[in-house]
A = this chain, B = another copy of it.
Amino acid sequence: MLIDLIISADDIKKEKLIDKTVVVIDMLRATSVITTALANGCNGVIPVLTIEEALAIAGEEREKYILGGERKALKIEGFDFSNSPLDYIKENVEGKTLVITTSNGTRAIKGSEGARNILIGAMINAKAVAKRILELNNDVVIVNAGTLGEFSMDDFICGGYIIDHITKEIEVDLTDIAATAHYIYTNNEDIISFIKYARHYKRIMELGLNDDLEYCCSKDCVDIVPEYNEGKIS
């Protein structure tokens, strides 16, 4: 099994994804939100690129949907919830379909179309993602969403953590970038000691989102692997 890694949504090269297992990571916070919502009984998640698309989908039968996401890390006007995973508790999401649009994560998911499987990964479900990767037994490309088209430390170390789970089970080939992500994780198992240097981290702290951060860094606390297929994650 070969594991490669793409450092941001803007750096996706489609030809690298064909026939591969892709894991999309936007741990702060889109893929943590999606994973949490589905674990709490949400029917499914529809990632869209624009606010207009989200409103159009929910428009017909508004009560069946919840609208979530962010622009510049803040809640979108007219939406039900922001991009905080802590909003996506059972009483808010059960039996509903979440339509989500975010600056980075949804773009990385849509940009990964063409892969054989598209898994949604975060720190909170890393172990479950690794287990699913082993079941699929296919070459892997980890797609980091990054932040505004740039490499982001938090997604990178999260990729390294998923790789760490896999290397504990089987021998794998790692590209240099995947090996570097793994190196970073093994030297920073507490996560925060590394991502405190990230620009995005500073923004999160400025916005007072410490609780989100703590939750998003909680390893393996959710045992599901969302998978994107034909426009919907379930």
Kindly state the separation between the CA atoms of A200 and B175 in the bound complex, as whole angstroms.
10
Kindly state the separation between the CA atoms of A123 and B31 in the bound complex, as whole angstroms.
39
Report the minimal beta-carbon distance from A198 to chain B, rounded to whole angstroms.
5
Judged by a CB distance under 8 angstroms, whether A81 is at the interface is no
Judged by a CB distance under 8 angstroms, whether A184 is at the interface is yes
Name the residue on B nearest A4 (C-beta).
B150
Name the residue on B nearest A180 (C-beta).
B153
Name the residue on B nearest A8 (C-beta).
B177
Name the residue on B nearest A177 (C-beta).
B151
Report the minimal beta-carbon distance from A99 to chain B, rounded to whole angstroms.
29
Contact status A176-B198, CB under 8 Å:
yes
Give the interface residue-count category, chain A: 20 to 34
Judged by a CB distance under 8 angstroms, whether A187 is at the interface is yes
Judged by a CB distance under 8 angstroms, whether A194 is at the interface is yes
Interface string of A195-216 (1 = CB under 8 A from B): 0011110000000000000000
Contact status A175-B194, CB under 8 Å:
no
Interface string of A144-188 (1 = CB under 8 A from B): 000100111100100000000000000000011101100110010
Kindly state the separation between the CA atoms of A194 and B147 in the bound complex, as whole angstroms.
26
Report the minimal beta-carbon distance from A154 to chain B, rounded to whole angstroms.
9
Residues of B within 8 A of A194 (CB): 183
Residues of B within 8 A of A198 (CB): 176, 179
Kindly state the separation between the CA atoms of A152 and B194 in the bound complex, as whole angstroms.
21
Kindly state the separation between the CA atoms of A82 and B199 in the bound complex, as whole angstroms.
42
Q: A150-B175, A150-B176 are in contact. List 12 more A-B contacts (CB 8 A).
A: A7-B177, A150-B177, A151-B175, A151-B180, A176-B198, A179-B197, A180-B180, A180-B184, A183-B194, A183-B197, A184-B184, A187-B187
